[in-house]
């Protein structure tokens, strides 16, 4: 009869289970991301000619040919900036066919001219719903 206690076994690392869970989550998100539809499909931007409502009175309308309208009359960015009250929030309602370069150039001009914030207006759901989308 031996009085020596049996050798104790070292417990396994609990991090192995955690690594397995993280790995499974990684695989799940990779598969879910490849199955999800790309955001480029089915995006329909606002088209000014299709709107049945009037543009908000404080909005600067960017037409398809790049001209600017405010309050029903043709204007330029500097004249529009002069109409803004404090806080100076510029609201742009772009036509669907306007190039992104034109929209970015207008936003840069407004920002350089003193606009504290630039908000793009667009439609959500039905043409009657004109909503604000903040762009910082």
pLDDT in tens, the chain (136 residues): 678 888 887 776 678 888 889 999 999 988 887 775 555 556 665 565 655 556 677 788 888 888 888 877 888 888 888 888 788 888 888 888 888 888 889 889 888 888 888 888 876 655 444 555 555 5
**pLDDT attached to residue 131:** 54
pLDDT computed for residue 23 by the predictor: 93
Tokens at 123, concatenated: 């439609």
d(CA 92, CA 81): 12
Per-residue pLDDT at 44: 62
Task: Report pLDDT for 127.
Answer: 47
Separation CA 78–CA 107 (nearest Å): 12
Residues in a beta bridge with 94: 62
3-state secondary structure of 75: strand
Cα gap 79→33, rounded to integer Å:
46
Q: What secondary structure does DSSP assign to 7-56, as a single string? A: PPPPPPPTHHHHHHHHHHHHHHHHHHHHHSPPTTTT-----GGG--SPPP
Predicted model pTM = 0.52
pLDDT of residue 78: 85
> What is the predicted pLDDT for the residue at 7?
81
């Amino acid at each position: 009869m031996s009085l020596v206690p049996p050798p104790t076994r070292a417990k396994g690392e609990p991090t192995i289970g955690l690594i397995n869970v993280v790995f499974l989550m990684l695989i799940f998100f990779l598969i879910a991301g490849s199955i999800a539809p790309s955001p480029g499909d089915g995006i329909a931007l606002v088209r000014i000619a299709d709107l049945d409502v009037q543009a908000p009175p404080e909005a600067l309308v960017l037409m398809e040919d790049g001209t600017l309208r405010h309050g029903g009359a043709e204007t330029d960015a500097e004249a529009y900036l002069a109409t803004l009250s404090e806080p100076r929030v510029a609201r742009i309602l772009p036509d669907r066919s306007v190039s992104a370069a034109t929209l970015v150039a207008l936003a840069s001009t407004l920002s350089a001219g003193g606009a504290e914030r630039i908000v793009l207006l667009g439609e959500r759901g039905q043409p009657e719903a004109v909503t604000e989308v903040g762009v910082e």
